[in-house]
Structures are given as C-alpha cells and as structure tokens.
C-alpha cells in the first residue's frame, strides 16, 4: 500500500467511526428542584429529541406556554444545563392560579348560561378557560361572524385567582353569495342545494367549509381536486369548489365454473351495466342479467333520479323478471322515494309488488300463482373509504315492510324484513378485516317455493350455486381477511357462515375459499376459489367454484 495514502484512509475511517456520535440528536429533559413541581412536570408529554438547539429552545417555550393553560402563569425557567448534547431545563412553577373570574359586558354575557353569571362575572376553573374561549369562537363562527376577535383584557392575579375582562369584537355577518365550480362546470346544481345544503345567503362558517370538502368525497361521480377556497370582498363572499368529473360507468361481468353431479361443467354468469351521471344530473341507470346454468334466468332494469325537480326527494324504480326453468316465472316492480338527511344518511318510503305464475299445472309441487305487495320504510347510512377499490368503511341498510298476498281469491297478511351491515376494520396499512352481515326474514301463514327468499353465490354465501338456496329466513356473515399486496391489489380469505330455515328445520351453511382482487388501468378483476358445505354435506373438492369477476370503468 502506498504510504502517502495511509493518512487519508485513516481519516476516512475515523470520520465513519464517529459519524454516529456527530449525528446524535440534542436531548431535552425538564425538571425542578422542588419535589412537588417535579411531579407536575413529569406528567407533561413533550418532545425529547431535537435536531437543532433552536428547535430545543422552541420546545422549552412551548412547555412554558402549556403550563400557563394549567394555571402556572408566572412559571419561569431558572436555568438550562448542557453537557455535550444533553440539555436539562429547570423550571420554577411558582404559585398556581386555580380559577379565572371574568367580568362580562352586554356583548359577552349572551354566550354564558344565566345561572352561572353573578354580579356580571363568571367563575371558571383555569383548566376550562381555553375550552370556554374556543366554544365562544365556535358559536360566533356558526353565526357567520368568523372574523370576530375575543380578548381577555386588564388581567390581574390575586392569590389563586386570575381577574380579567372579556371583550368580544364581533365581525360583520358573512353569507355565501355565490358558488363557483372549477373543473366541472356542468356539475348538477341540485346537489349544491340538497346535498351540500348551500342555499342563497347561507351563513358562512369555517366548519361548513370542512363539511363540504368531506361531503364531496361521498359523491361517486366526482373527485375533489383540492379543498374549497373562499374569496372575501368588501360586500360579498364567494365559495370556490374544485371538482373533477369521474368516469364512473361500469361494465361488470361474472363467470363461475363448477361441476354437475354427472361430472359436466356448469356455467353461471351475469352481466351488470351501470351508467352514472351521463346526463350531468347525478342519475343512475342499470341493466342486470343473470344466467344460472340451464335452470334460471334473471333480468332487472333500474333507475334513480336524485333530487328530482330540484327537490329533496329522489325516486328509484326497478323492474325484474325471474324464470325458474319451466316451473314458474316472477315479475317484480320495486320503487322507493328517498330523502337525504345528510351526505351519509337517507331514509325512504318503499313499495314493491310481485306477480308469480305457475307454469306447470296439475303437478304436485309447492308452487302457486299469486300476487303480493309490500309497503315499508328504509334507512341507509354509508361512510365511504375513498380508496381505489371503491369500498365502504361502514354501511347500514334496514328495510322492514308489511304486505298482503292473494292466492286464488284468498288474501293473507305478510311481513318482510331485510338488513345489511358491513364494516372494514383496518389493522394497519396492509392488513384489514372485512365483516358483512345480511338478514332476510319472511313471515306468512303459508309459504310457497316461488315466493321464498333466494341466496347463494358470489354476492351472498360463496361456495354455493347462484340463488340455489330457498328459505323463508336467513342470517349469514361474510368475513374476509385482506392483505394489501400493492397500491392496487389485495389477497383475501373467504369465510362465509350462516343459518337458514329450510322446511321448518334450521341448517348451517359454511363457505370457505381464497381470492385475489386487483386493478388494471380502468378495470377491476376479482378471482376467487370457494367451496361450500351444509350440516349434512361435507366439502366436496370436486365442486369447488372458480369465479371470475371483471369490472370495467368507462
């Protein structure tokens, strides 16, 4: 080795060896020579490591200001001892102020309960002072007086009380004079009034701006570019909303393969086309077709028009035809009139009627020609997660209804109840658990096969053929453990378990499997393998179902 290079090599080694020492942060410890004061300081949560001495000094000052909110108004920093990079700050808390006695005037006393005011003063524990002033500020903001100033003047400390005068300089009441949508000029105006609750001369406040931003995330056909902004002029207040139209139409196809008893392959498939907001009014159109082997066919058309005629009401109608081989055919009309309580919750009046025709007469089966109708109420509450998978953080739907059924001139009362509740529990950034519960219940004096509830398949209990299980009531859970493999995909397990009432006998259903969901460009593909079992039947691996769900957004 060249001896001329040796000093430089040794220098580099020394630098790397001591890099850990030089890179150490400055540490901070706060204490007091007074034992009682030391106990108080030990309860304070503060940042102990800092990159610079300036940041360390700022933290010491922040602690001093925090102590004032706890009543130690005349706390002092006696000294700061520094040994290398270890700093110890010694505080002297001095006498604590326990209460604040505030003198009120005509402008300030209206923000307190009359029973708490004595001789135009109010006494508040020092710990509640900051909260009290914040509540007054919030009330002023709700009144549209967002630029009001709240001050404590003529402050004096006597013994353990702080005396002050409360002065409130109320600003001019502000209202939203105009709303401008940037990025999506054809955004439906009915949503401003009925969804965002922005009407002419709506009071302006900061909380409402935050709520508008949050609410915009619940609209499926828009994306918020950035939070709303407000332009104040001398005589007006302009609200700017930055929204981008989202292509939310979808073409959804499901293909399922399973084995027949004779060993042949049974093909199940459906097609679901959704057109959303193509007329820039927030409307929805849907066409659903379902083919279940050679046995069952299903076709459904539905539409929803939000805030019709710029009102608070949104009508929904659907028409469905279901044919069971050559046994029977059902025609169903479903309607609801919804009212949005807020951006997450809505209620509705529901009406549906169904006609069923027995296609095989003089056959000893439990199928009858009948007509029925149901009237009910519906509650929906949805909290979107706003992720790339279009999932909900929480979803709740409850729909009880009362009706009558007519068979061969004889009428009878019926009751139906349906509910769905789901929750996505995030364990951490990659792991989550999804739980959904669905309940269906039909009460009647007699039951026919062609009026029973139908479950089974990719959208209910997986591992069973589509709508192959007929029951008068069911209660099942869908449980998934999800592992995020990338920003646009996740693996999941399938654990579906439920109870049904089959011919007055309770039976347990179990579906197990694995799946993988991923997004590619404008598509979402969901692959799954599942198998089902009942109390009387073990899992038959020959009947494992492969389901391919492909959804394309356009």
- Percent of the chain exceeding pLDDT 70 equals 93
Give the H or E element holding residue 269.
strand 265-276
pLDDT score of 11 = 44
Beta strand ranges found along 6-85 (DSSP E): 26-31, 49-50, 76-83
Is residue 512 within 8 A of residue 530, CB to CB? The reply is yes
pLDDT score of 222 = 95
CATH number of 250-553: 2.60.120.260, 2.60.120.10, 3.20.20.140, 2.40.160.50?
2.40.160.50
Q: pTM score > 0.95 for this model?
A: no
Q: Which strands make up the sheet holding 149-158, listed edge to edge?
A: 121-125, 99-103, 161-169, 149-158
In whole angstroms, what separates CA 294 from the centre of its chain? 40
- 166: nearest Cα among 141, 145, 148, 146: 148
Give the H or E element holding residue 134.
helix 129-142
SS3 at position 293: coil
Is residue 214 within 8 A of residue 277, CB to CB? The reply is no
pLDDT score of 168 = 92
Which residue ranges in the chain fall short of pLDDT 70? 1-24, 256-267, 293-294, 362
26-92 and 250-553 agree in CATH topology: no
Q: CA 279, 283, 286 angle in degrees (round to 5)?
A: 110
CATH architecture of 26-92: Roll (3.10)
Give the H or E element holding residue 67.
helix 53-69
pLDDT score of 17 = 42
pLDDT score of 16 = 42
d(CA 526, CA 483): 14
Domain range annotation of the chain = 26-92, 99-169, 175-245, 250-553
pLDDT score of 265 = 62
- What tens digit of pLDDT does each residue of 444-469 get? 999 999 999 999 998 999 999 888 89
pLDDT score of 259 = 61
Strand partners, 156: 163
The tokens of 424 are what? 């996505």
- Give me the CATH topology for the region 99-169: Ubiquitin-like (UB roll) (3.10.20)
pLDDT score of 8 = 47
- Give me the CATH topology for the region 175-245: Ubiquitin-like (UB roll) (3.10.20)
pLDDT score of 536 = 81
- What tens digit of pLDDT does each residue of 145-156 get? 888 999 999 999
- What tens digit of pLDDT does each residue of 12-36 get? 444 444 444 444 689 999 999 999 9
């Amino acid at each position: 080795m060249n001896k001329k290079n040796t000093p430089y090599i040794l220098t580099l080694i020394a630098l790397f060896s001591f890099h850990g020492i030089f890179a150490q942060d400055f540490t901070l410890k706060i204490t007091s020579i007074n034992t009682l004061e030391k106990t108080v300081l030990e309860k304070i949560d503060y940042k102990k490591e800092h990159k610079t001495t300036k940041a360390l000094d700022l933290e010491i000052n922040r602690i001093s200001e925090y102590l004032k909110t706890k009543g130690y108004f005349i706390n002092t920093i006696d000294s700061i001892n520094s040994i290398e990079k270890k700093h110890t700050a010694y505080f002297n808390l001095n006498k604590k102020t326990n209460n604040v006695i505030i003198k009120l005037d005509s402008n300030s006393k209206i923000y307190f309960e009359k029973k708490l005011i004595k001789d135009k003063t109010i006494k508040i524990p020092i710990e509640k002072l900051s909260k009290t002033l914040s509540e007054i500020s919030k009330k002023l903001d709700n009144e549209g007086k967002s630029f009001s100033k709240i001050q404590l003047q003529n402050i004096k400390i006597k013994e353990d009380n702080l005396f002050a005068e409360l002065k409130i300089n109320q600003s001019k009441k502000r209202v939203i004079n105009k709303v401008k949508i940037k990025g999506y000029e054809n955004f439906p105006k009915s949503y401003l009034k009925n969804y965002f609750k922005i009407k002419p001369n709506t009071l302006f406040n900061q909380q409402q701006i935050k709520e508008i931003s949050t609410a915009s995330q619940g609209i499926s056909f828009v994306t918020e570019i950035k939070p709303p902004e407000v332009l104040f002029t001398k005589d007006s207040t302009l609200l700017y909303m930055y929204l981008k139209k989202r292509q939310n139409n979808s073409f959804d196809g499901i293909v399922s393969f399973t084995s027949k008893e004779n060993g042949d392959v049974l093909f199940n498939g459906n097609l679901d086309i959704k057109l959303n907001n193509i007329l820039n009014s927030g409307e929805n159109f849907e066409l659903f077709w379902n083919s279940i082997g050679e046995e069952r066919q299903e076709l459904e058309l539905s539409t929803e028009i939000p805030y019709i005629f710029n009102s608070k009401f949104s009508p929904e109608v659907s028409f469905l035809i279901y044919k069971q081989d050559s046994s029977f055919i059902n025609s169903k009309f479903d309607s609801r009139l919804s009212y949005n309580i807020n951006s997450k919750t809505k209620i509705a009046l529901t009406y549906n009627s169904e006609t069923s025709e027995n296609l095989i007469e003089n056959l000893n089966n439990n199928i009858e020609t009948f007509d029925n109708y149901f009237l009910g109420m519906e509650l929906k509450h949805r909290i979107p997660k706003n992720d790339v998978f279009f999932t909900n953080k929480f979803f709740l739907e409850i729909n009880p209804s009362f009706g009558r059924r007519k068979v061969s001139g004889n009428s009878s009362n019926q009751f139906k109840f349906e509910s769905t509740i789901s929750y996505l529990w995030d364990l951490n950034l990659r792991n989550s658990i999804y739980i959904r519960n669905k309940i269906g219940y039909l009460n009647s004096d007699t039951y026919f096969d062609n009026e029973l509830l139908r479950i089974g398949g990719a959208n209910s209990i997986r591992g069973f053929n589509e709508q192959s299980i007929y029951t008068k009531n069911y209660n099942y859970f869908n449980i998934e453990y999800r592992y995020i493999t990338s920003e646009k995909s996740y693996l999941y397990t399938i654990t579906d378990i439920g109870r049904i009432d089959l011919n007055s006998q309770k039976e347990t259903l179990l579906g197990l499997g694995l799946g993988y969901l991923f997004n590619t460009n404008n598509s979402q593909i969901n692959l799954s393998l599942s198998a089902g079992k009942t109390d009387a039947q073990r899992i038959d691996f020959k009947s494992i179902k492969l389901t391919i769900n492909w959804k394309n957004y356009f």
